[in-house]
Chain A
Amino acid sequence: MSNASQTLTTNLSSWPVRRAAWTTFLPFLILFGLAALLPLTGNEYWGLIATRAAIYWMLVSGLSLIVGFAGQLAIGYVALLTLGAYTTSVLAAGNVLPPLPTLVALGIASAAGAVFGVIVGLPALRLRTFYFAMTTLGFATIVTQVALAWQGVTGGGIGITGPEMPAPFNTAWGFFYLCLGIAALCTWGASNIAHSRVGRSLIAIRDAEVAAEASGISKARLLVVVFMFAGALAAMAGGLFASLQTYITPDAFTFELSLLFFIAVLIGGRGSILGPLIGTVVLTILPEIAAPLAAWSTFLYAFLLLVIVLAMPGGIAALLDFESRKPLAFDRAVRPNPHVLGELFHGQRDGRSIVLRDVVLSFGGVRAIDGVNLEIRPGQIHGLIGPNGSGKTTTLNVISGYYAPEKGDVTLGSPLDPAAAVTRAGRGIARTFQTPRIVGEASVLDNVMIGGSIDGRATFLEALLSLPRHREDERRIEADALLALRAVGLEALAHVRADRLQHSELRFIEIARALVLRPSFLLLDEPAAGLSGVEIDHLGRLIVEIGRQGTGVLLVEHHADLIFSICDDVTVLNLGRVLAAGTPAEIRLHKEVVSAYLGG
């Protein structure tokens, strides 16, 4: 063990160094540093604009997690700003309860924002994108209507006085520094989340939802937390916005503002924090320096949105991503180092098998699998072959919980939950997909770290504040991911964006992602498809070594020679039934198998 960890550290130091921390922080430091110097100019008008930008950024920092990371098109976020502004103003003015101190009112407004953030977000858990966009839009319309109509509380169309800040925040510059400080905290928190397990999981849900599920990431739980966080930030921004405006009417919260927030994220770039920050600053300043265009600002924003969508989907972040423009070596080959697996896999393996008993599943009246029996034993490589439509992949999908069998059961010691793919990672079952499900915009390393998501112990709050347990999680998952990458032979590409890799390399990333889980069982869905002969040989050796670690492997494949050379057991399916089962030598001689393949 100590020997192993020594090799690990020496090897770690020889890997390409991650971009040094200061280059990552530098743009933030410059931006906030410059802003902090603004009072020296003595220009209070610019101070006002800067305060507004800081407040907008509080909202956008949360929104960027929803739009940029989780890929949920929340286009009506002005509603939560409105909600926060009115809640804070009403509570501070004492229209409903006795007047509360402004900061307390602000706190309550944030809590309300968290609650409504989740309520508005609920449809995103079940519905298609357009529906969610519509719901947020509908919510935005309704909040304004309620503000107009609930005259006794909100003052209706006449409006209400914004909350007054306590000293020392009651001067223009005092308030500016308060907002700047909070904005800096939001930046820090959002960056922490972005670079944590949560950030990676959100991107996985966005771009590779099925793979996220297989890695044990629960979309619902994750999104609810993020909606709460973003909602609270938005409502807090609303309270401060009301204070900045000194007097608010429903007219102050136009849909144009919503558009500004949304476009700031998209101009900035998905999956980035710096980009949306720059986007927010630019969009806030733009109408000020181009005053004649003010009337056309919505048109401009919309036009920008169209241009971004059609011409530069990566946004500012992609423009700033100089790393990804360096050419990669052209003639690189994947060279796995199966011996590294010993370092990754350590500790006790339990000796139970996955057992399928009389499993039946049909689609639209056609029996895709019809009474399949199968046992995958620990440490054994089990090949599953059969002609087109014989039910191989369906069987794999039943085991990994994407389909519930109509009859029969699937057990690993105890029954495996039917149709609950998200539970499989917890039971030590990992898988790969026929078409690699990879997050193209994330680095190879981040992709592999997604596989270790359920290993993390830190909560969202710990990640937000970068507390020790979170940092310990990150270190551990990263080290595991690097080991897994070394095992499959991709460590040299760890920091490259995954969409720059070749198809065969993506297959090995998927295997690395599955290995980070240290699975007791690994289900491979046609891993050799699209690989060259040499790569298939490498793959075969890697799979054999995975088996030696005590992991049971189910190998669905068309390359009969690969199956026959590495499997311990082979099951042949035909028309959803087991046609034959036995050792490779027995199967090779099986008359029916040969004729099922050649269609006798």
Chain B
Amino acid sequence: MLLDVNALEAGYGKIGVLHHVEMGVAAGEVVALLGHNGAGKTTLLRAISGLLPWGSGDVVFAGHSLKGSGPRESARAGLVHVIEGHRVFTQQTVADNLLLAAYDLPRGERSARIEEALAFFPEIAAKRHDRGGSLSGGQQQMLAVAQGLVRRPRLLMLDEPSAGLSPVLVDRVLAVVSQLRAEGTAILLVEQLVEKVLAVADRVYALAQGRVVLSARCDEPDLRSRLESAYFGSTIARD
């Protein structure tokens, strides 16, 4: 496994959000993370990338524990987290937004990496001198994903890249996910749109109340009904 999460416990202050989470992502696969608002998906991503310090358990990426490291160290190791809500820097141009993502890279490589990332999104490449704030929500989301790609991640974590986007744009973003997988990048995807995600993912985890309640391959035949019951209760694991 490229990423291994073992018995992870995390939360905000006194509020425990994640309870004994076990999951993993292999190199080159697309894994979807599903669950309700408040189930702990975003918290899990933040804990993995080091944005949220966690308590006990362990996160191992490419053979090294990420305990105590922040997002900067994770990104250097090749684990990039694109946070929810397409939070690009609205006062700065598209090119500058990407340049910021390349902050840690050697000076000479920056522009090549930016062009590489922009190649995935011709629609924002055309607007490279526009300010981030002037982009539409969908374009901002593409920019946010492009920021992640500048680092040439081995594992890219996307938190709800489809939120607030029109169906066409959602397909556009998910198409890039497929494209990345074809090039060997592993992806951990948090999504609400179950059907669309299942179409691009290899495996799926469902979270409820901070616990993994379902882990399955996407080609298992009864997956949909198992998901439905995971969402509507009755089979939610209780202890």
**Contact, chains A and B (beta carbon distance below 8 A):** yes
Binding site for B on A (CB under 8 A): 366, 387-389, 502-503, 526, 529-530, 532-533, 558-562, 564, 588, 594, 597-600
Check if A387 sits within 8 Å of B15, measured CB to CB: no
Check if B195 sits within 8 Å of A600, measured CB to CB: yes
B103 at the interface (CB under 8 A from A): no
From known contacts A503-B16, A533-B239, A598-B227, infer whether A558 and B233 are also in contact, taking CB-CB under 8 Å: no
Please give me the residue from chain B that is nearest to A390 by CB atom.
B37
Chain B residues lying within 8 Å of A529, measured Cβ to Cβ, are 38
- 9 A-B residue pairs with CB within 8 Å: A388-B192, A389-B163, A530-B15, A560-B233, A564-B233, A598-B228, A598-B231, A599-B193, A600-B195
Chain A residues lying within 8 Å of B15, measured Cβ to Cβ, are 503, 530
Check if B196 sits within 8 Å of A502, measured CB to CB: no
18 other A-B residue contacts (CB within 8 Å) besides A532-B239, A588-B232:
A387-B37, A387-B192, A388-B192, A389-B164, A503-B14, A526-B38, A533-B238, A533-B239, A558-B37, A558-B38, A561-B232, A562-B233, A564-B233, A594-B228, A594-B232, A597-B231, A598-B228, A599-B197
A598's contact among B17, B194, B234, by CB below 8 Å, is which? B194
B138-178, CB < 8 A from A = 160, 163-164
Complex Cα distance A325/B234, Å?
42
B25-56, CB < 8 A from A = 36-39
B236 at the interface (CB under 8 A from A): yes
Q: Total contacts A to B, CB within 8 angstroms?
A: 58
Check if A561 sits within 8 Å of B233, measured CB to CB: yes
Complex Cα distance A562/B209, Å?
14
Interface of chain B, main secondary structure: loop
Complex Cα distance A560/B39, Å?
13
Complex Cα distance A502/B15, Å?
8
Size category of the B interface is 20 to 34
Check if A599 sits within 8 Å of B14, measured CB to CB: no
Chain B residues lying within 8 Å of A561, measured Cβ to Cβ, are 232-234, 236
Q: Counting chain B CB atoms within 10 Å of each CB, which of A366, A389, A588 scores highest?
A: A389
The 9 tightest CB contacts between A and B, nearest first, are: A561-B233, A533-B238, A599-B193, A558-B36, A388-B37, A598-B194, A599-B194, A503-B15, A560-B232
Chain B residues lying within 8 Å of A600, measured Cβ to Cβ, are 195
Please give me the residue from chain A that is nearest to B196 by CB atom.
A599
Chain B residues lying within 8 Å of A532, measured Cβ to Cβ, are 238-239
Nearest chain B CB to A587 CB, angstrom units: 10
Please give me the residue from chain A that is nearest to B162 by CB atom.
A599
Check if B195 sits within 8 Å of A598, measured CB to CB: yes
Complex Cα distance A533/B211, Å?
13
Please give me the residue from chain B that is nearest to A501 by CB atom.
B14
Chain B residues lying within 8 Å of A594, measured Cβ to Cβ, are 228, 232
Q: Counting chain A CB atoms within 10 Å of each CB, which of B160, B234, B238 scores highest?
A: B238
Complex Cα distance A389/B137, Å?
15
Chain B residues lying within 8 Å of A387, measured Cβ to Cβ, are 37, 192
Chain B residues lying within 8 Å of A389, measured Cβ to Cβ, are 163-164
Check if B163 sits within 8 Å of A388, measured CB to CB: yes
Complex Cα distance A503/B17, Å?
11
From known contacts A533-B238, A598-B194, A598-B227, infer whether A559 and B14 are also in contact, taking CB-CB under 8 Å: no
Please give me the residue from chain B that is nearest to A530 by CB atom.
B15
Chain B residues lying within 8 Å of A526, measured Cβ to Cβ, are 38
